Chains A and B, each alone.
Chain A
Amino acid sequence: MTETLLHLTPRGLYCPPGDFFIDPWQPVSRAVITHAHSDHARPGMRAYLTTHEGQAVLRGRLGPDAAIQTLAYGEPLGLNGVELSLYPAGHMLGAAQVRVAYRGEVWVVSGDYKTETDPTCAPFEPVRCHTFVTEATFGLPIYRWRPQAEVLAAIHTWWRANQDAGRASLLFGYALGKAQRLLAGLDPAIGPIFCHGAVERFNGIYRAAGIALPPTAYTGAATREVDWSRALIIAPPSAQASAWMRRFGEVSTAFASGWMRIRGARRRRGVDRGFVLSDHADWPGLLGAIAATGAERVWVTHGYSAVLARWLTEQGLDARPITTPFEGEQGAATGEEE
């Protein structure tokens, strides 16, 4: 087999002529980072490359000592004859697809992406390529998202109903990305919005980057007088069933995730409500994005990768699943990957 422009090594997806890795999972000298979620942005790399917009969140993850270089979306960078550029993936603030061009051959690595609009980040931009490396977290045709506005309206209705019933609204969602997307869509006129410390930390970074979020307060700084029954509280899923929850008195719990599309997943999660809102593409989103690249070859990294690869193969594409430690199906149980 001839060596491809990008190939899978034990340390990650590697580009030999450019001598860089994309989202590597073991320490390397040069890492191009699609976005700042922990399964894609790991500590210990000698040098990091990401977007201008993604720098602050990545810094928030990695600490002050990490060497982070940035590019504007679409700005080319030459590396030993390889042209590297980053395009919006629509997944979260600063998330990028990585375009790699060498001697007329173009590859695009999607990272995580969604095709829906999101007020907290630049919208997904299809990039023409020969080979597309896609994710497949929700690569089953049962996953179809409703418009975001509809989901937010349902969250507002739930919040108001909880206020009427005299109990706090506790909404779980991934602390980075999902939480801020939720916040950006919430109506602060309904009541006060509080955030778990893990969420509040990233709120500050988002605001500093110029993303408009409604006023929020850190739960830990709340006084005893706070009437939690008026409030909506955003927390990471790991806070569920913890002692931290007790302070709010009676609560209604909800989880915002694509997994909530399935009734059984919500029941296993043990929350009162499931709001189907994901930062990953749904089935039509995946197929549309893949078609828009015009790619003949597709590598499918994580999630329902075997299913999506088989489907694409049956549609006449050269598709295959590749194994990475990016979190896909595992999230069905934990929901943490979003």
Chain B
Amino acid sequence: MRALAELYAALDETTRTSEKVAALARYFAAAPPADAAWALYFLSGRKPRQVIGSRRLSEWAIDAAGVPAWLFGECYDAVGDLAETVALLLADTPSAVAAGEPASLSFWIEERLLPLREADEATQRAAVLQAWSELDQPRRFLWNKLITGGFRVGVSQRLVVRALAQVSGVEDTVIAHRLMGDWAPSADWYRGLFVSQRADADVSRPYPFFLAHSLEDDPASLGTLEEWQAEWKWDGIRAQLIRRAGQSFLWSRGEELITERFPELAEAAARLPDGTVLDGEVLPFRDGVVLPFGQLQRRIGRKQLTRKILAEVPVALFAYDLLEVEGRDLRGAPLRERRARLEQILDSGDDAIRISPLVSGSTWDELAAARERSREVNAEGLMLKRRASPYRVGRVRGDWWKWKVAPYTVDAVLIYARRGSGKRASLYTDYTFGVWAGDTLVPFARAYSGLTDAEIREVDAFVRRNTVEQFGPVRTVRPELVFELAFEGLQPSTRHKAGIAVRFPRILRWRRDKPPREADTLEIVRAMLREG
């Protein structure tokens, strides 16, 4: 357990990715497989059902430390974390400090912790107090974390996978796949991670993604239009769908296996011919229309996919490339050939796996005009791809370009605030912004997202201190804070005071540098409307 406590400290002490990976690799290189399995279990965000409730733990710590409950409360307020409060509050006993080679992590979990689940309270209490007296502070902290389950230390699955690949020499895509799903941590399971000839190794492996650069120049500089193919630039999740050996795998660009997140795609993939790999975009798609990305976010954020959310935000894979056909790597073939084969395969018009349509135009100007309509289909612009190009690896200049439409931005002043809902119920997070019309601020957009938690707290405090007037749930605040808002479109509106309705307004950043008087005017916004 000491090794894991040291790993925890090492991960906590650095923000450098390379050092986190190195610390993880050091740990896994030295840890016995049974311990490593448990460490992986916790590091990948899994946790056993909480063995002992937080209230009991607090009560026992109060007894063990010999402090009154109010003083424990003061300590907790200063620390903000139960496991840490208890670890800090108890003094190290001489036996803990002097303890030599400690028992293994798996012993602590399997022999000391998990059996407590079935035990009565007195036994649990005695066992926990005994453990506290045996452990020094860093291990006491870890032990408490194992009990309460909140083992968060700021390493992503990717880093853990990278460290394991480094230690074992097994490819990270293989390890990533083997870490997916439900598994019980054991020494055998851990050893199995690195077995080279497991059948699933090759079957799941995605190809590296080909990524595009942004087009800064005039598209005419790319040459004749005939050499290029134009598609919508979607705002979704870039993904590779693999159908091999009767199994389906959906990989995100971050090389995360996301098959389970999108059951409708997994189901549709089963109808693909064996040995097929598609590249495309997972998009929220309902009634023949691509929905805004925000809808997809609602689904991504969830642990449990309820029937309700599946019905509200169905998804489709908009495929735009074919990387493998009949088990053969097709990446070297020119795009025009890959596209033709893709059209054949997706001929059936399956709803969940669709072909991403081409955008046509006979001149660059016509394409530019089409690009201006991107927002109408919830696209971010166009992709330009050279018809003769192979499917390359990584971000390579020259063959794929993203030609995005710019978001509109306006500097506006916070004028009204109301409380948010759910997690943010206690905070003022729902803001209305105004732009200047002469000497008055006209409400112009309402936005929620885009601020960090720290900024939200700061704005919340500002709102509470600077309320001029309260009308129901809405507070009018002193017009002092300026924010840069981005939005995707403008429409004339008779229902809005400013005479304009904005689409998808969001806060880009807090303009602390700008005094409110320098925020934008209604005239400027109206000019955008005419241009748009």
Residues in A whose Cβ lies below 8 Å from that of B329: none
Asked if A73 is at the interface (CB within 8 A of a chain B CB), the reply is no
CA of A304 to CA of B67, assembled, Å: 16
CA of A264 to CA of B141, assembled, Å: 14
Question: What is the minimal beta-carbon distance from B6 to any residue of chain A, in angstroms?
Answer: 12
A142 close to B88 (CB less than 8 A): yes
Residues in A whose Cβ lies below 8 Å from that of B110: none
A262 close to B70 (CB less than 8 A): no
B14 close to A272 (CB less than 8 A): yes
Q: Of A272, A273, A311, A332, which one neighbours B71 at CB under 8 angstroms?
A: A311
Can you name the residue of chain B whose Cβ is closest to the Cβ of A142? B88
B84 close to A272 (CB less than 8 A): no
A272 close to B68 (CB less than 8 A): no
Asked if B12 is at the interface (CB within 8 A of a chain A CB), the reply is yes
Question: What is the minimal beta-carbon distance from B165 to any residue of chain A, in angstroms?
Answer: 22
B88 close to A261 (CB less than 8 A): yes
Q: How many A-B residue pairs have CB under 8 A?
A: 41
Question: What is the minimal beta-carbon distance from A164 to any residue of chain B, in angstroms?
Answer: 12
Q: Of A141, A263, A264, which one neighbours B65 at CB under 8 angstroms?
A: A141
Residues in A whose Cβ lies below 8 Å from that of B75: 140-142
Asked if A66 is at the interface (CB within 8 A of a chain B CB), the reply is no
Asked if A3 is at the interface (CB within 8 A of a chain B CB), the reply is no
Residues in B whose Cβ lies below 8 Å from that of A272: 13-15
Asked if B89 is at the interface (CB within 8 A of a chain A CB), the reply is yes
Question: What is the minimal beta-carbon distance from B328 to any residue of chain A, in angstroms?
Answer: 46
A141 close to B89 (CB less than 8 A): yes
CA of A307 to CA of B74, assembled, Å: 8
Residues in A whose Cβ lies below 8 Å from that of B89: 141-142
Q: Of B13, B15, B67, B84, which one neighbours A141 at CB under 8 angstroms?
A: B67
Question: What is the minimal beta-carbon distance from A129 to any residue of chain B, in angstroms?
Answer: 26
B64-81: contact bitstring with A at CB < 8 Å (1 yes, 0 no)?
A: 010110110011001111
Asked if B270 is at the interface (CB within 8 A of a chain A CB), the reply is no
Question: What is the minimal beta-carbon distance from A64 to any residue of chain B, in angstroms?
Answer: 42
CA of A314 to CA of B89, assembled, Å: 19
CA of A307 to CA of B91, assembled, Å: 19
Asked if B85 is at the interface (CB within 8 A of a chain A CB), the reply is yes
Central interface residue in A142, A263, A332, by most chain B CB within 10 Å: A142
Can you name the residue of chain B whose Cβ is closest to the Cβ of A254? B13
Residues in A whose Cβ lies below 8 Å from that of B12: 263
Q: Please provide the chain A residues from 214 to 263 with a CB less than 8 Å away from any CB of chain B in the complex.
A: 261-263
Q: Please provide the chain A residues from 106 to 156 with a CB less than 8 Å away from any CB of chain B in the complex.
A: 140-144
CA of A314 to CA of B85, assembled, Å: 22
Q: Please provide the chain B residues from 478 to 506 with a CB less than 8 Å away from any CB of chain A in the complex.
A: none
CA of A262 to CA of B88, assembled, Å: 8
CA of A304 to CA of B79, assembled, Å: 14
CA of A307 to CA of B67, assembled, Å: 12
A142 close to B81 (CB less than 8 A): no
Residues in A whose Cβ lies below 8 Å from that of B79: 142, 262, 264
CA of A295 to CA of B72, assembled, Å: 26
Question: What is the minimal beta-carbon distance from B301 to any residue of chain A, in angstroms?
Answer: 24
Residues in A whose Cβ lies below 8 Å from that of B13: 272-273
Asked if A61 is at the interface (CB within 8 A of a chain B CB), the reply is no
Can you name the residue of chain A whose Cβ is closest to the Cβ of B85? A142
- Chain B residues with a Cβ closer than 8 Å to the other chain, count: 20
Residues in B whose Cβ lies below 8 Å from that of A143: 88
Asked if A42 is at the interface (CB within 8 A of a chain B CB), the reply is no
CA of A87 to CA of B238, assembled, Å: 71
Question: What is the minimal beta-carbon distance from B100 to any residue of chain A, in angstroms?
Answer: 18
Residues in B whose Cβ lies below 8 Å from that of A30: none
CA of A272 to CA of B13, assembled, Å: 5
A295-338: contact bitstring with B at CB < 8 Å (1 yes, 0 no)?
A: 00000000010010011001000000000000000001000000
Given contacts A142-B75, A142-B78, A272-B13, contact A262 B67 (CB under 8 A): no
Residues in B whose Cβ lies below 8 Å from that of A332: 78
CA of A49 to CA of B91, assembled, Å: 40
Residues in B whose Cβ lies below 8 Å from that of A311: 71
Q: Of A264, A273, A304, A314, which one neighbours B74 at CB under 8 angstroms?
A: A304
Can you name the residue of chain A whose Cβ is closest to the Cβ of B67? A141
Given contacts A262-B88, A263-B12, A273-B13, contact A141 B81 (CB under 8 A): no
B84 close to A263 (CB less than 8 A): yes
CA of A267 to CA of B130, assembled, Å: 31
Residues in A whose Cβ lies below 8 Å from that of B65: 141
Residues in B whose Cβ lies below 8 Å from that of A310: 70-71
Q: Please provide the chain B residues from 516 to 530 with a CB less than 8 Å away from any CB of chain A in the complex.
A: none
CA of A107 to CA of B254, assembled, Å: 67
Residues in B whose Cβ lies below 8 Å from that of A262: 78-79, 84, 88
B81 close to A263 (CB less than 8 A): yes
Central interface residue in B13, B67, B84, by most chain A CB within 10 Å: B13
B71 close to A141 (CB less than 8 A): yes
CA of A20 to CA of B441, assembled, Å: 58
Question: What is the minimal beta-carbon distance from B72 to any residue of chain A, in angstroms?
Answer: 9
Q: Of B14, B68, B81, B88, which one neighbours A314 at CB under 8 angstroms?
A: B68
CA of A314 to CA of B80, assembled, Å: 25
Question: What is the minimal beta-carbon distance from A241 to any residue of chain B, in angstroms?
Answer: 14
Question: What is the minimal beta-carbon distance from B109 to any residue of chain A, in angstroms?
Answer: 22
Residues in A whose Cβ lies below 8 Å from that of B70: 310
B15 close to A140 (CB less than 8 A): no
CA of A272 to CA of B71, assembled, Å: 30
Question: What is the minimal beta-carbon distance from A314 to any residue of chain B, in angstroms?
Answer: 7
Residues in A whose Cβ lies below 8 Å from that of B84: 262-263
CA of A47 to CA of B71, assembled, Å: 42
CA of A141 to CA of B85, assembled, Å: 10
Question: What is the minimal beta-carbon distance from B10 to any residue of chain A, in angstroms?
Answer: 11
8 A-B pairs, CB-CB below 8 angstroms?
A141-B65, A142-B75, A261-B88, A264-B81, A304-B74, A311-B71, A314-B68, A332-B78
Write the residues of chain A forming the contact surface with B, with a CB cutoff of 8 angstroms: 140-144, 261-264, 272-273, 304, 307, 310-311, 314, 332
Q: What 17 new A-B contacts, CB under 8 Å, besides A141-B67, A141-B89, A142-B79?
A: A140-B74, A140-B75, A140-B78, A141-B65, A142-B78, A142-B85, A142-B88, A261-B88, A262-B79, A262-B88, A263-B81, A263-B84, A264-B79, A264-B80, A272-B13, A304-B74, A314-B68
Write the residues of chain B forming the contact surface with A, with a CB cutoff of 8 angstroms: 12-15, 65, 67-68, 70-71, 74-75, 78-81, 84-85, 88-89, 91
- 8 nearest interchain CB pairs? A142-B88, A142-B75, A307-B74, A142-B89, A140-B75, A262-B79, A264-B80, A273-B13
